Amino acid sequence: MPTPRLILGLDPGLETTGYGVLDLTPAGPRVAEAGVVRSAVGRDPADMGDRVKSLYDGVCEILDQWRPTAVAVEQLYAHVEHPRTAILMAHARGVYFLAAAQRGIPVFSYPATTVKKTVTGHGRAGKEQMQHAVMRELGLDKPPEPHDVADALAIALCHVFSSGHVAGGARSATFTGVNLKALIGEDD
């Protein structure tokens, strides 16, 4: 039996990072694990070293446990009125890129609007719309929570669909209403 191809999606955050590991099965992408990595809780928020080390340790644990073949991360978005947010987010993203590079795992970045458009069909989809789209695409019983987890799974799905791992991609499933299982040859 061939080794499963695993994709790790990360929704970067300096306090909370959502992650989702997708297993690319013949029946389509399935959630292998999802959750959050939190930076040094209870520590002085000004101690950036402790915060990024906590994120690094958490992401390394996930990478070592699941050994994904690719990591997908949301791209930075810098708003003119809030440049500090982008700078802080860059610290978290740098940790993920370093951890993956140390293990020889390629990292792919996707703008938030691309992730939303790929998964929901609308580049400005809200948090609840994203949760429900991820639930539908992955055949989950309920929307993934918290939003960080849903976003991480959406980022992983965006990579899966954008890289051609699933015939037809999410755009066909989302725009035409075609069932994803039908696209990959699995009928209910």
Distances (CA, A) of 161 to 124, 172, 186: 19, 10, 17
Instruction: State the Cα–Cα distance between residues 13 and 85, nearest whole angstrom.
Output: 10
Distances (CA, A) of 131 to 46, 120, 145, 146, 170: 32, 10, 8, 9, 15
Instruction: State the Cα–Cα distance between residues 14 and 156, nearest whole angstrom.
Output: 19
Q: Angle at CA 117, nearest 5°, toward 25 and 82?
A: 120
Cβ neighbours around 20 below 10 Å, total: 30
Q: Is residue 95 within 8 Å of 59, Cβ to Cβ?
A: yes
Q: Supply the DSSP string of 86-103, one letter for each residue.
A: HHHHHHHHHHHHHHHHHT
| Residues catalogued as catalytic | 11, 74, 148
